[in-house]
Structure 1
């Protein structure tokens, strides 16, 4: 269970961006470590994710075999399940492996949430 705390400003949409540069899991084919930077962006609703709990959650993948696509979507599903955000995006930028870089982006949007239109500043 990932610890959360009450959103201090539920009346306002705002974005929380968290960069996690030390994500590791194992390749399910070779058992070799895979390294990635995970970028978490979300618009909270009633709850925010507590950072120490997030760190421990991310560390829990170190000994698990997972395809990049599967682990990115699993993280999105589990984080959305604990805090039920208005919007969440997970970007997983995996380091080079066999000459190939992989980036996986997964998003969730609450059904009843409509983002504010973009503001163009002069």
Structure 2
């Protein structure tokens, strides 16, 4: 019998995984943080995030940047990728998508701190950027700028 590790309960790694039909059906997995005595930041960048306009059904595109300072848990990256992919056929406004992702991750991971920047590409000539965070950023952890320039159009 294989030895139990912090990764033993993961179910999505090591094989084919279908994209969940909706964010509600998506399962996000977590693992215990093996470096919980260290304070550090984790960043996930999803430059090709897509969802649907809930009224027109047209696709919306965003560049998401998720930063968090873990406490007891880390998010398993394949499950996060599948969760984000589940928005591809989900109709919601930009604000709803961005904040829902941030809140779900904060609820699951119980991080010391989390922020998400949703940098949405223009539709109808107006880009929408949405930002959510769980509180004041920690002062003693390096948190680089999210690195996504403000939209300039033809600038």
**TM-score between both structures, scaled by the size of structure 2:** 0.70
Match of 1:40 among 66, 87, 93: 66
Task: Give the deviation of 1:118 after TM superposition.
Answer: 7.3
Q: Which stretches of structure 1, 4 residues or longer, exceed 2 Å deviation after superposition? A: 113-119
How does 1:1-122 map onto structure 2 within 5 Å?
1-109=27-135, 115-117=138-140
For the pair shown, the structure with the greater C-alpha radius of gyration is 2
What SS does the corresponding residue of 2:138 show, helix, strand or coil?
Answer: coil
User: What is the total number of aligned residue pairs between the two structures?
Assistant: 116
Normalized per residue, the structure richer in strand is 1
Task: Please report how far the alpha carbon of residue 13 of structure 1 lies from its aligned counterpart in structure 2 after TM superposition.
Answer: 1.4
Question: How many angstroms does 1:71 deviate by?
Answer: 1.0
Which digits, 9 at most, give the CA deviation of each residue in 1:79-113, with x for residues without a partner? 1111111100010001111111111000013xxx9
Name the CA shift for 1:96/1:49 in 2 (closer, same or farther; >3 Å).
same
Greater RCO (CA < 8 Å, at least 6 residues apart): 1
Aligned-partner Cα distance in 2 for 1:95–1:3: 29
Q: Distance in 2 between matches of 1:98 and 1:90?
A: 24
Uncovered stretches (5+) of structure 1, i.e. residues with no partner: none
Q: CA deviation at 1:114?
A: 7.8
Using the TM superposition, give the Cα deviation of residue 117 of structure 1 relative to its aligned residue in structure 2, in angstroms.
4.5
Structure 2 unmatched ranges of 5 or more: 1-26, 143-155
